[in-house]
Structure 1
């Protein structure tokens, strides 16, 4: 097998993520994630670690040389800081108007007098973003303003990342409880997104309170709504008003009115909407302002948690984060309630009996104000919260894998990620190597998270979107996964071949909702979310963190999925795709960003750009 990692003894130098200047480290992280997404989505081969990746951008007349720190079988490459390859000017070319230039390719620059050299010079995030995005804009024949917008988001993300790193390096004291520690760990963001921390429409002061990376906390903004304009639903018989009154304790609520919560940023924005302004003017909706105890944002920014609350709230937030404005759509909120009812009609009981270590966090209720029209921006989903009162220690998988930077003196951190610390603990407890501990961790993760999801799909045709931010695991004392959770009402699919069976359990299964899809489409999406994003992403993280050889882990993964294929005939279509297809459909976050698409709006088939990605599972041998 080709060595994908760092060659023994290769002098790659300090990791740019550990640079003493947090804004330099933030820019380095931004360039690395942008280039990682770019090479994946343009099918550019990456040389072995210690080599140089040379990228040409003919639309801008620029070439970059990028040191390869780690080459990944699953695409989670690590790069050093890129440099511009300065091409010698052609003979007779004029660098300054009206001034002749010597034909000598290394003659002095006519302005500075410095020699013109073909040696690389350092590139910054602005240049890297500009040339990569311009290349995509020109090749895809997109309007140029889309490129400008995408570049601005990349640079905003880089600046925000620098701020997060500076704050985290300066803080001391004990870490928060495991649930919040993982939710607040994503300082660098999604490893395959070009602008993972872009939040352009919020001020620095606002983000102090609203950002999980800054350990923010804020009180909800409350509205009092006339019952005649309150809409919502619940899967367990309780009215949304009943659920919310318990959360609005201490709020001075006018008699007969219903409390409706909002994110404070959203509360200011919705008052500008004509439909909300009309409700306020008619006295049917009254802004009450901030009240109650503080809530803490989780990794999605808009979902908030309070350790003493029985539920979490997924608030509408019209701020653009990554590729989307996070406004809750009533269709997806109804989908969450419908899914909760479907699970209660039988599949949930089967899941608890077969896999008591795995749970689905339901978005079992929702509420808003405004009837007979579009969303008002006050739509809120109400979610299960098992992580309260010191109970449970589920940790967001994205937070477990999130890379940490050094303490600020140029040295690396003790553990590059929470996963690194857990694996080290496991290795000590079991007396094995870090590589063997990684293989055991992956095998247990498959048991508590992947196998239940695949079996639910096989038995009932119910499929979910379990990417890293939507899945959680709890670790035992040795660091091994012992329980798993899925969350998010947006990601439910029912395979068309099983719809009639499920309609016998829940007759109104798909009434008014986009829930039932062709089996092939469902398999394709599960192969992306569970296969590429979650499982192959986990393998890539182990490799990029220096914990294990990806080839070894791919063999562990393939063996487990082959055993499941033999035991679960209903999963054969999905597992044939994951194990044997030479290529898998993969969301292209870079191209989706450049296209300016909002992934929460429009037809589910075209919300994002998808590409064909070579399937490493089809190539690996047991």
Structure 2
């Protein structure tokens, strides 16, 4: 158990000393903070997810006690499901102190816990590495891609926020957006490919199509020849990269599990890309200028999820940068300083919920988490409109569309559903429990913003559920402990419109 908790940290330290010894001291100094950040995310899961080996959660005067199925008790601080600061520095299992998340999971001795512990160990070490080389007092970015590279800690609530299995230290430094590298794409020529939309001229050669490929994919997955492509700026998702000078974004396939999912590109998403993009544009046009959707220019697959790519517009296409407007991903909003203002946060919350609820009423549920959702700011920082990107995981309800006289797109598969629970989970779990919660940073701040914003929200049929029901969110840790289950698993958080409680689950 002790060896596992130190393994990834020590191995990364050894690799780092070989490739970037100048970062060794700051990496070592950052390990305690990284452990607390991952432990905070893990404690959120233990306090709120329906884990079968937790039989009861009991609030106490000084925190929260979890009663385990084997009779043991785990005690920690009060659990704020919307907090983003690392406030959990230790928990106690039967009185024994644990400050390392991997060691805690091993001590819990639960089914599939070994694999999760290894991922948490990697996440902690990688997070410390991500923090090791950050610039101090750097000026605020101008471009949206530079704002993305300021998001150092990854997913605000996932314990695997920085887990990058299969990436060496040198590769993390070379490809991780937080390290601000330039990444050269590979270009693989293909004779037979599934193509949707328009494929740009720079990705054609001698009558053949060229598929842009991430260099990690070239080194670890594909065994095909490639030529050098352009230098690009990696974005938050790591596998999506921005061409320079406001060029389009290239979403590449990386067959590695980053946070929860393997980041390849399914043939289904390529097949549906053009139809979904055209439909989303038409729906966004109904939002009175409050929403723009980055257009998918083209998508291609060599009939394999390992060799595929999507080209889409840059979010900056929807901002008047000459007039001083700027585009910032919601995940980066806390770095702007704007979210410390309750009035600003309430105004942004009002904008986001107005768009999200109106779309949901029409029949479109966005997966509007902090990475997919961006906001256009005025020169003075006012939120003007939203930009949404990456349409692969939205949900569309033909029945709701029909009620509003809107023709449903010719789609099938997972994107199409009339199930009310599925639609609300998609929007509420990503937008409220994800984007808005992480922008607010705590339950009290989120509650204040929501209560202020709700006064001006349209009275859509889904608003009562948002105000009164527990808030759905993905059970991210349960999903990692359930390797044989496919699809998303869910839990319910205390409704942020009301005073938070220790847990919504028994």
Please report how far the alpha carbon of residue 73 of structure 1 lies from its aligned counterpart in structure 2 after TM superposition: 7.2
Structure-2 residue corresponding to 1:594: 481
Does the aligned pair in 2 maintain the 1:62–1:131 contact within 8 Å? no
The secondary structure found in structure 2 opposite 1:350 is: coil
The residue correspondences of 1:329-478 to structure 2 (distance < 5 A) are 329-344=266-281, 346-351=282-287, 354=288, 356-370=289-303, 375-387=304-316, 393-401=326-334, 418-419=335-336, 421-423=337-339, 437-438=341-342, 440-458=343-361, 460-478=362-380
* Aligned partner of 2:118 among 152, 166, 171: 152
**Please, which of 424, 440, 451 is the counterpart of residue 555 of structure 1?**
451
Contact in 2 for aligned 1:336/1:362 (Cα 8 Å)? no
Counterpart of 2:213? 262
Pairing 1:533–2:444 present: no
Length-normalised TM-score, structure 1:
0.67
Shift of 1:362: 2.6
- 2:497 is paired with a residue whose SS is helix
Q: Hey, what's the Cα distance between the residues in 1 that align with 2:331 and 2:398?
A: 31
Residue equivalent to 1:92 = none
Other structure's SS at 1:190 match? coil
Give the whole-Å Cα distance in 1 for the aligned partners of 2:88 and 2:313. Answer: 42
Task: State the partner residue of 1:124.
Answer: 100
1:518 is matched with which residue? 418
| Change in 2 beyond 3 A, CA 1:156/1:358 | same
Q: Deviations over 1:402-457 (max 9, x none)?
A: xxxxxxxxxxxxxxxx15x225xxxxxxxxxx6xx31x212321343321232223
How far 1:259 moved relative to its partner?
1.7
Establish whether residue 489 from structure 1 lines up as the match of residue 391 from structure 2.
yes
Match of 1:24 in 2: 32
Q: How far apart are the structure 2 equivalents of 1:511 and 1:181?
A: 35
Once the two structures are TM-superposed, the CA of residue 29 in structure 1 deviates from its matched residue by 1.2
Structure 1 unaligned runs (5+)? Answer: 1-17, 88-119, 138-143, 273-279, 281-286, 402-417, 424-433, 566-570
Residue aligned with 1:79, SS: coil
| 1:441-488 C-alpha deviation (Å, 9 max, x unpaired) | 123213433212322232x31221111221111333433322311111
Is 1:609 paired with 2:485? no
Matches of 2:147 and 2:484 in 1, distance apart?
29
How big is the shift at 1:233? 0.7
Q: Report the CA distance between 1:164 and its aligned residue.
A: 1.1
Match of 2:244 in 1: 307
Aligned residues of 2:372 and 2:390 also touching (Cα < 8 A): yes
1:354-408 superposed Cα distances (whole Å, 9 cap, x missing partner): 1x242111334201224xxxx251111111114279665211111224xxxxxxx
The residue that corresponds to 2:229 in the other structure is 291
Aligned pair in 2 of structure 1 residues 576, 519: CA closer, same or farther (>3 Å)?
farther
User: Partners in 1 of 2:149 and 2:178 — Cα distance?
Assistant: 5
After the TM superposition, which of the residue ranges 193-202 and 382-391 deviates more from structure 2? 382-391
RMSD: 3.2
- Within 1, Cα distance between the matches of 2:67 and 2:154? 26
The Cα of 1:57 is off from its aligned counterpart by 5.2
**1:49-60 correspondence to structure 2 within 5 Å:** 51-55=62-66, 59=70
Residues 164-183 of structure 1 show CA distances to partners (whole Å, capped at 9, x for unaligned) of: 111116x6754543513431
Which consecutive residues of structure 2, in runs of 5 or more, have no partner in the other structure?
Answer: 1-25, 51-55, 501-506
Q: 1:528 to 1:515 in 2, by over 3 A?
A: same
Distance 1:85 1:517 in 2: 43
Go from structure 1 to structure 2 and tell me whether the alpha carbon gap of 1:594 and 1:553 turns closer, same or farther (over 3 Å shift). same
- Structure 1 residues 288, 552: closer, same or farther in 2, change over 3 A? closer
> For 1:21-51, what per-residue CA distance to the aligned partner results, in whole angstroms no more than 9, with x for missing partners?
1122111211111112221215845567xx3
Paired with 1:597 and 1:311, the residues of 2 have a C-alpha distance of 37
SS at match of 1:612: strand
Q: Distance in 2 between matches of 1:231 and 1:203?
A: 32
Equivalent-residue separation in structure 1 for 2:28 and 2:216 (angstroms): 33
Deviation by residue 1:279-299 (Cα, 9 ceiling, x = unmatched) = x6xxxxxx233333x111111
Deviation at 1:304, TM superposition (A): 0.7
2-side partners of 1:554 and 1:321: how far apart?
31
1:411: which partner in 2?
none
Cα distance in 2, alignment partners of residues 484 and 260 from structure 1: 30
Structure 2 CA distance for aligned equivalents of residues 85 and 233 of structure 1: 54
Shift of 1:185: 2.7
Q: Name 1:81's counterpart in structure 2.
A: 89
Aligned partners of 1:358, 1:46: CA distance in 2, in Å? 42
* Preserved contact between residue 339 and residue 492 of structure 1 (Cα < 8 Å): no
TM-score (norm 2): 0.82
User: How many residue pairs get matched?
Assistant: 465
The alpha-carbon distance between structure 1 residues 302 and 362, as it changes in their structure 2 partners (threshold 3 A), is same
Deviation at 1:552, TM superposition (A): 3.0
Highest Rg: 1 or 2? 1
